[in-house]
Structure 1
Amino acid sequence: MTKIKICGLQRVEDIEMVNKNLPDYVGFVFANSKRKVTKEKVKELIDRLDRRIKTVGVFVDEKSEDVEKVAKYCGLDILQFHGEETTEYCDCFRDRYEIWKAFSVRDRGIEKRLIEYKKYTDICLLDAYNKNVRGGSGKVFNWDLIEGVSKKYKIALAGGITPKNILEAVEKVEPYIIDLSSGVEIDGFKDEGKIKEIIKKIRRGGEDG
């Protein structure tokens, strides 16, 4: 079954929502973003989080020592890198954390990057390309560009996924993880109704009950 990550949590209310609905992962953004949170706030939120849910910290081109400090302070399970982090950079954390590396998909040449990073990461996260932002664009990219990729690599799919298109995304791409943020928000805040609908569609085939 496809796993679910809800990214960009910022509030105690967000934690209450995910504790009720139990996605597999939640993400906290430490990079420059409208969803950026401090390490102090993240620690407060994680302290309230159901222990069955794994925590992901999202970073962009931070010094490795700064990432380590934040990860230890907050008690993160997984580090997700959205910048130009090298294979060596990713590898230096692997004895302590699960590592996810994000890639922006522009064309079919994306598989060259996946081959390069396969030995150094646990998950390759594929998102829409946007020259102005590192992830979180809320835009769907052409899934035909990654046809068959999930059969060779363990991938997370991000980019404009909502309750309306999530079953199509799962059927067409067959990702290991679906990564959601703006697709489960209303007016910039996480919405429990959308989170519940997404999880129901993935885990119960869209059926009620």
Structure 2
Amino acid sequence: MRIDPRWPKPAVRPRVKICGITRPDLADAAVAAGADMIGLVHFPPSPRHLPLEEAAAVADRARGRAMTVALTVDADDATLDALMRTVRPDAVQLHGKESPERVRALAERYGRPMAKALGVASAADLAAAADYDGALLVLDAKPPKDADRPGGHGVSFDWSVLDALPPDTLYMLSGGLTPETVAAALRTARPYAVDVSSGVETDRLKDPEKMAAFVAAVATRG
């Protein structure tokens, strides 16, 4: 599958996205750690949700040093218009039930690369992947049945099911990754990128030492 060429080019090590950055100083720490992308969550049920003006301040701090990715969940056009106007992210990650047609329409509307999250528990969940050609797939663990949000739960899935993907598929691996587990994930899967959030936090805030340890573990394994 192809992805938008504006995503960072594949490198010797998998690219790293640190999601749920909530303060400008933590954006600095993520960039210093070696993150290629930072994620800004705009979804009120998430504990990492940022109002638009706060998200803009974080994005401005990282701009030009790391790719800024705004994460939303089934947002309507008015919400997305305000997000794009205020935050001006480099890319958008859609983490809800957005259809392939919706993803393509938003890519055209905003002229930005799109990422689309798919919840994975078994190989059968990968059947929809080919429908999102052009978007970067974010393969995350399916949320618990009683969850109030589709991601950010810090749980993983059986990475071996990714063997069912065509070998040329570029995807971002997410869900339950930590500095201690990411090497094992990379031994099983060969993602284009890895996405981490709660795995590099202390008391729900990004921890500069954990972020640096995560990137170092990816570099060593990659």
What's the TM-score, normalizing by structure 1?
Answer: 0.91
User: Is 2:203 aligned against 1:187?
Assistant: yes
Counterpart of 1:153 in structure 2 is 169
Cα-Cα RMSD = 1.6
- Alpha-carbon deviations, 1:127-151, whole Å to 9, x = none? 1111313110100111122225262
User: Is 2:34 aligned against 1:22?
Assistant: yes
Match of 2:67 among 54, 62, 70: 54
Which segments of 5 or more consecutive residues in structure 1 lack a partner in the other structure?
none
Counterpart of 2:119 in structure 1 is 104
CA contact (8 A) 1:150 1:175 kept: no
CA contact (8 A) 2:41 2:70 kept: yes
User: Is 2:107 aligned against 1:94?
Assistant: yes
Task: Specify the SS of the correspondent of 1:67.
Answer: helix
User: Is 2:133 aligned against 1:123?
Assistant: no
Structure 1 residue 79: Cα displacement: 0.7
- How far, CA to CA, are the matches of 1:109 and 1:205 in structure 2? 28
What's the TM-score, normalizing by structure 2?
Answer: 0.86
- How far, CA to CA, are the matches of 1:114 and 1:64 in structure 2? 24
The size of the alignment, in residue pairs, is 204
- How far, CA to CA, are the matches of 2:173 and 2:18 in structure 1? 12
Structure 1 residue 52: Cα displacement: 2.4
Structure 1 residue 75: Cα displacement: 1.2
Counterpart of 1:72 in structure 2 is 85
Gap change, CA 1:6 and 1:155, over 3 Å in 2: same
- How far, CA to CA, are the matches of 1:74 and 1:168 in structure 2? 35
- Alpha-carbon deviations, 1:83-129, whole Å to 9, x = none? 111111111122401100001112211221102222xx421111111
User: Is 2:53 aligned against 1:40?
Assistant: yes
- How far, CA to CA, are the matches of 1:186 and 1:114 in structure 2? 33
